Every structure is written in C-alpha cells, then in structure tokens.
Amino acid sequence: MFAYLIRKLGVIAPTFFGVTLVAFVFIRLLPGDPVLLMAGERGMTEERHAKLMAEFGFDKPILVQYGVYIQDLFSGDFGTSIITKQPVFKEFFTLFPATMELSFVAICIAVFVGLPAGMIAATKRRSVFDHVVMTGALTGYSMPIFWWGLLLIIFFSGILGWTPVSGRISLLYYFEPVTGFMLIDSLLSGQSGAFKSALSHLILPSIVLATIPLAVIARQTRSAMLEVLSEDYVRTAKAKGLGRGRVIGMHALRNAMIPVITVIGLQVGVLFAGAILTETIFSWPGIGKWMVDSIFRRDYPSVQGGLLLIAAMVMIVNLVVDLLYGLINPQIRHRD
C-alpha cells in the first residue's frame, strides 16, 4: 500500500508543477494588464504605467517572473493580491471553507440520491421509474445553473417564502468565524436558531450545485449496474439461489462501483466549476466568485495562487479516489 501511495505521489508532483506553469502562463496570455484595468477610463501616463508594472515586478522577462514565483512557492509564499494587498494564501483559506461546505453537502446529495436512483433504474430497466430517472438526469445535466438557481429562488424564496434568498446565515446572527464552516460555527456560537438558519441557507445552493453531479452519477451508476448485471458471475450467483438483495448489493454493486467512484472523484472538479455560478447567484462567499473577480481584474498572484490551490485540492481528492479503488478491489493496487 505504501509503495502504491509513493507511486501515486510521484505522479502528483510533476502535475503540480505543470499546473504552476499553466496558471502562470495562461493568465498572462489574456490581453490587457492589471495596471491598465486598475486605471479604467481615467487612464494613466505611459511613465506611471511603466512604474507600476515595475513595482509589481511585471516588467521582467516572463521566465524571470516564473523563477521568482517558484522560488517564493518553495518558501511557502503564494504571493500577495495586487488589488486587496492581502496574502493570497490567507484570502483563499478564508473563503475556502464556504466552498468546501457547499461542495460537501452538494456531493452528499448527489451521491445519496444519484446512487440509489441509478441502481433502482438499472434493476427496473425500462420501467416508468427508469424513464423518469433518466429523463430527470438528462434535464438536470442540460439545465443552465444560473437559470435553475434563479428559478428556485423565485419559487421557494420569493413565492413560497420557505427558504432564504441568499447568503450563508441570517443577518440576525453575528459571531466570529472559528472554523469557517458555518454549520459548525453556528453550533459553536451557542446562539439559538443559528444552526437552523445556516442549514436553511444551504438548501437551495447545494441542490443547484448538486444537480449536474447527481445526474452524472445516476446515469453512470445505471449503466455500470446494467453491464455488471449481465455478467456471468451475477447469473451464477442468481443460479446458486442467492437473494436478490445479496446479488445486487454484494456482487453487482461492488463491481459497478469502480467507474462510479471515478466519476464521483471527477465531479469534484465539476463542483468547483459550478461553484463559480452558484456562489454568484446565492451570494455565497467562496472561492468561485473570488477567482472570477481575480480573473476579471487580472490579479495575477490571486489567479495563480487560487488555481494552484484548487488544483491541489482536486489532486488530493483524486488521490483518495485512487486509494479507494485499492480498497474496493485489491487487485488494482497489486497490478498497478
């Protein structure tokens, strides 16, 4: 297992450096520069532009800038935002718990609804349930997040008044963040009703964010199950007289889980992408909105640092997924 982990980490290290290069180069390929955007219609003289570019170190050759960036990374410095003047690492981890909390709830919804829905659809192939699940999954997958979010807000918050419109907690509650996870902090605050408020604020954004992963997981589970259910060993298990639950739960589902877990792992990247829109609609103070703002302002250090940290998160999740393969099917780690 240890050797397997080392091999996986050996792949992650070069990927990480690949990401630093991509993040560094791509943001600079975008036309315009942060100093020009800072000045806006008011503009500035060529001299002042050059002076500010030099102050930020953007006047040096790109390879030199990259070298300085990598050197700083090795000393744990992710840079300082040229807009807010705050360390990128600090800004990221101030906002990251909000995205993490939302993504975690969303992936839980997606897994706990998508997995059984896909399983049942597979075992009841061509039934009404199967058609409903598959049509629902297709609709969910195709729905623009922005439109879907607004629709839910107008209906559940505007018309029915069941859920709050946006934010993480009611403005009635005020406490200093301890963990950054609102559900935990609201409990720690000891303020009556705070946890309920935080939970109610999570409902709509997590449903919206869960929609696409849920659709993908349901479809993937269904097709993986269908494939496994037609395998000889399943037929043999049935022929041996094993109960339906045991055949599906023990023999079929466990083997169908490999591709499903891969898809769940990949959905983490999708969640971060979806968070950009979901966070904007629901005024959710996470890293999605922060990244978009940083890109629009050409805040190079924030974009570089943010992309790197997000990539690191996605890589960690995928490493965990790889390790899970080994647990589900020990043959994988031996073969690898």
Partner 1 sequence: MRKSKKLLAALCGASLLAFGAVGAQAKTLVFCSEGSPEGFNPAFYTAGTTFDASSRQIFNRLVEFKRGTTEIQPALAESWDITDGGMKYTFNLRKGVKFQTTKEFTPTRDFNADDVVFSFMRQLDPEHPYHKVSGASYEYFNGMSMPDLLKEVKKVDDYTVEFILNRPEAPMIANLGMDFASIHSAEYADKMMAAGTAEVVDLKPVGTGPFQLVAYQKDAVIRFKAHPEYWDGKAPIDDLVFAITPDASVRYQKLKAGECHVMPYPNPADIAAMQKDSDINVLEQEGLNVGYLAYNTKVAPFDNAKVRKALNMAINKQAIIDAVFQGAGKIAKNPIPPTIWSYNEATTDDAYDPDAAKKMLAAEGVTNLSLKIWAMPVQRPYNPNARRMAELIQADMDKIGVKAEVVSYEWGEYLKRSKDVDRDGAVLLGWTGDNGDPDNFLAVLLGCDGVGGSNRAQWCYQPFEDLIQKAKVVADKEERVKLYEQAQLVFKEQAPWATIAHSVVFKPVRKEVVDFRIDPFGGHVFYGVDLK
Please tell me the count of residues contacting partner 1 according to CB under 8 A.
58
Enumerate residues 37-66 that contact partner 1 by CB under 8 A. 37-45, 48, 52, 55
In angstroms, what is the minimal distance from the CB of 212 to partner 1? 19
Rounded to whole angstroms, the Cα distance separating 49 from 35 reads 7
Q: Residue 45 burial by CB count (10 A; 0-12/13-18/19+): exposed, middle or buried?
A: exposed
By C-beta, is 193 or 243 nearer to partner 1? 193
By C-beta, is 251 or 289 nearer to partner 1? 289
For residue 14, state whether it binds partner 1 (rule: CB under 8 A): no
E strands present in 210-299: none
Question: How distant, in Å, are the alpha carbons of 274, 295, 313, 322 from that of 16?
Answer: 22, 20, 11, 17
For residue 240, state whether it binds partner 1 (rule: CB under 8 A): no
Q: Judged by CB under 8 A, which stretch of 65-73, 103-111, 165-173, 260-268 contacts partner 1?
A: 165-173
Instruction: Tell me the sheet residues that pair with 87.
Output: 80
For residue 97, state whether it binds partner 1 (rule: CB under 8 A): no
Rounded to whole angstroms, the Cα distance separating 329 from 251 reads 12
Question: How distant, in Å, are the alpha carbons of 37, 56, 213 from that of 80?
Answer: 18, 10, 34
For residue 73, state whether it binds partner 1 (rule: CB under 8 A): no
In angstroms, what is the minimal distance from the CB of 89 to partner 1? 14
For residue 265, state whether it binds partner 1 (rule: CB under 8 A): no
Which listed residue (101, 168, 216, 217) binds partner 1 by CB under 8 A?
Answer: 168
By C-beta, is 176 or 232 nearer to partner 1? 176
Contacts of 335 (CB under 8 A, 6+ apart): none
Query: In this structure, what token pair is assigned to residue 312?
Result: 């690191």
Q: Judged by CB under 8 A, which stretch of 102-110, 210-218, 227-235, 274-282 contacts partner 1?
A: 274-282
In angstroms, what is the minimal distance from the CB of 168 to partner 1? 6
Nearest to 298 by CA among 21, 23, 34: 34
For residue 158, state whether it binds partner 1 (rule: CB under 8 A): yes
Which listed residue (219, 222, 251, 289) binds partner 1 by CB under 8 A?
Answer: 289
Contacts of 50 (CB under 8 A, 6+ apart): 59
For residue 316, state whether it binds partner 1 (rule: CB under 8 A): no
For residue 83, state whether it binds partner 1 (rule: CB under 8 A): yes
Contacts of 316 (CB under 8 A, 6+ apart): none
Residue with structure tokens 């109610």? 200
Distance of CA 44 to the CA centre of its chain: 39
Query: Are 297 and 33 a contacting pair, CB within 8 Å?
Result: no
Q: Which residues bind partner 1 (CB under 8 A)?
A: 30-33, 36-45, 48, 52, 55, 80, 82-85, 91, 94-95, 98, 150, 153-154, 157-161, 164-168, 170-174, 176-177, 279-286, 289-290, 293, 298
